[in-house]
Amino acid sequence: SRVTGPDFTRATDRLVRATVGRGVKVDSVEVVKTVEVVTEPKTLLPHSVRSQEVKTVVVTGDGKSQTSKEVDETSSVYSYRR
């Protein structure tokens, strides 16, 4: 899934200005989340789950633009006894 757009950027900008101060402006925000699940075809029991969330924020402060990127990844592997 992907979250971005002017409404999300405005909301994030308001939050940042309220917490950091008016000297910082959020120019754009994007959050992309990808989830991959591998299952047993007949039973749908999961074998593995991998999740990745990438947050990219572009801010301007003191006349300088800066891009920050945060990546969160998790993975799980399952095994079953028969």
H/E element, 8? helix 6-19
Percent of the chain with pLDDT over 70: 100
Helix H segments across the chain? 6-19
Residue 62 has pLDDT above 90, yes or no: no
* pTM of the complete model: 0.80
| Pairwise CA distance, residues 14 & 25, whole Å | 9
Specify whether the CB–CB gap between 74 and 50 falls below 8 A: yes
pLDDT for 68 equals 95
Q: pLDDT band at 51, cuts 50/70/90?
A: very high
Specify whether the CB–CB gap between 49 and 73 falls below 8 A: no
pLDDT for 22 equals 80
